[in-house]
Chain A
């Protein structure tokens, strides 16, 4: 079984642990650098109408910092996984890159990345929602921390009053 794990800055540990539970030897770890943030920074810089030399473009700084973060996450993840795996470090519109990369995977491991203090639709962020909806394979959706117990479900609303 080919397992693809999508790692993000704040939830990658849980993803790696989940990959280990699948016992699959064929694992790819994926980190996608969001291009929109560095693009917007580039944009703001060009709005300054060339007041600064190109070497000062904060978009380049942001892109480099983002690449460094991705490298750090991936190398820490490889170490945590503890066996040989493939590593992909890509950039672009995150959700679309993840879905495209999952084309030849059998299982995609994804962590919930939204607001986990109020369980419901918002416990999935925008990108994760897209990936869960459009992944071309099965998706393993994991909790970055311990899964909530049944007590976290709000009580059933009372019947609406009859007229």
Chain B
């Protein structure tokens, strides 16, 4: 919740608009270079401000940046939707699934980040390699450099976000929850907003409350209860039976595969709620589960069969003709990224001795 608020307030500070202008400057009219910059920005945004920020706030900016350059927007927009999932491995705050697992893992914030750093990089690398090949023709269609002024970077927001990152790493040993750190960052940004006074203060605060979306917490709680009920009536035992134990590479691969399949059947949030209790006590397995539930949803463009069906019902007439292409992209990236990511995780576990 605090992270959602932090992302929204960073957006009001103009951080994404500035990022768009900066991306277009660096890309200098070359779509391939734009893709690389989009990958960097989307990976960082997802890691620090969570996947929601990438989907809701960054994607439209990337679209208009590409369009202004007269580059085809598709590879760049698809990169955002993919990285919103697969780049959400790095920090406990990057994805709600991570936050749920982090609380039971017994790992510190820093240990989590250290273990996930290599898998995060490897998964992003695999995605990048596949995207470059998959969208080869789109990316080699000439574009033009824009003369859009970049403007001054929103230093204040960047400093606050940097402070939050530092806070996340140091707060753990002091027994402070990351949510408090993110909340503090959000309050700093909010207070500044109130000082700048672009609109009545009540409106600013009310908008902030709406952005934090308190009702969603209720939803997660309710979801947790439903999942616990389902789990207790047989599904939990079934999962425990197929679920591996131990920290061997094979066990990690199997855990990630089970998680990815489950995340594609139901959504990744219920999948995480189901699997976290099963993997509790084995930090290595927990992290492998996270790889599965975070990277797995890229197989379909809505993250799971459940959401897909839901969408079909809601907007049946708009059943996308582009589904095929997106599915092919998912089929190319997800299995490779998962296997490579899990191997990287195994290596991290071996090298650091954390999580054993």
What's the A-B contact tally at a CB cutoff of 8 Å?
142
Contact segment of B62-70, B182-190, B239-247: B62-70
B352 at the interface (CB under 8 A from A): no
**In the complex the two chains form, what is the Cα distance from A35 to B319 in whole Å?**
11
Residues in A neighbouring B141, C-beta threshold 8 A: 10, 113-115, 125
In the complex the two chains form, is A43's CB within 8 Å of B302's CB?
Answer: yes
**In the complex the two chains form, what is the Cα distance from A46 to B314 in whole Å?**
11
Give the contacting residue for B144; candidates A10, A50, A117; CB below 8 A.
A10
A48 at the interface (CB under 8 A from B): yes
Number of B interface residues in the complex (CB < 8 A): 51
In the complex the two chains form, is A40's CB within 8 Å of B297's CB?
Answer: no
Residue among A47, A51, A93 with the highest chain B CB neighbour number at 10 A = A47
Tell me whether A65 and B60 are in contact in the complex, defined as CB-CB below 8 angstroms, given that A35-B320, A40-B326, A47-B307 are known contacts. Answer: yes
Q: Nearest residue in A to B308 (C-beta to C-beta)?
A: A43
**In the complex the two chains form, what is the Cα distance from A40 to B82 in whole Å?**
10
Q: Nearest residue in A to B4 (C-beta to C-beta)?
A: A51
**In the complex the two chains form, what is the Cα distance from A118 to B142 in whole Å?**
12
Residues in A neighbouring B51, C-beta threshold 8 A: 48
In the complex the two chains form, is A43's CB within 8 Å of B311's CB?
Answer: yes
**In the complex the two chains form, what is the Cα distance from A96 to B81 in whole Å?**
25
Contact segment of A22-30, A53-61, A78-86: A53-61
In the complex the two chains form, is B321's CB within 8 Å of A65's CB?
Answer: no
Would you call the interface of chain B mostly helix, strand, loop, or mixed?
Answer: helix
Instruction: List CB contacts (< 8 Å) of A33-74 with chain B.
Output: 34-37, 39-53, 56, 58, 61-62, 65-66, 69
In the complex the two chains form, is A40's CB within 8 Å of B267's CB?
Answer: no
Contact segment of B72-80, B118-126, B155-163, B229-237: B72-80
Residues in A neighbouring B84, C-beta threshold 8 A: 44
Give the contacting residue for A93; candidates B59, B210, B321; CB below 8 A.
B321
**In the complex the two chains form, what is the Cα distance from A35 to B73 in whole Å?**
12
In the complex the two chains form, is A10's CB within 8 Å of B74's CB?
Answer: no
In the complex the two chains form, is B310's CB within 8 Å of A122's CB?
Answer: no
In the complex the two chains form, is A48's CB within 8 Å of B137's CB?
Answer: no
Residues in A neighbouring B331, C-beta threshold 8 A: none
Q: Nearest residue in A to B58 (C-beta to C-beta)?
A: A58
Residues in A neighbouring B216, C-beta threshold 8 A: 50-51
Q: Nearest residue in A to B267 (C-beta to C-beta)?
A: A49
Residues in A neighbouring B304, C-beta threshold 8 A: 47
Residues in A neighbouring B80, C-beta threshold 8 A: 44
**In the complex the two chains form, what is the Cα distance from A61 to B269 in whole Å?**
26
Closest beta carbon of chain B to A52's beta carbon, Å: 6
Q: Nearest residue in A to B73 (C-beta to C-beta)?
A: A37
Residues of chain A at the chain B interface (Cβ within 8 Å): 9-10, 34-37, 39-53, 56, 58, 61-62, 65-66, 69, 92-93, 96, 113-118, 122, 125-126, 144
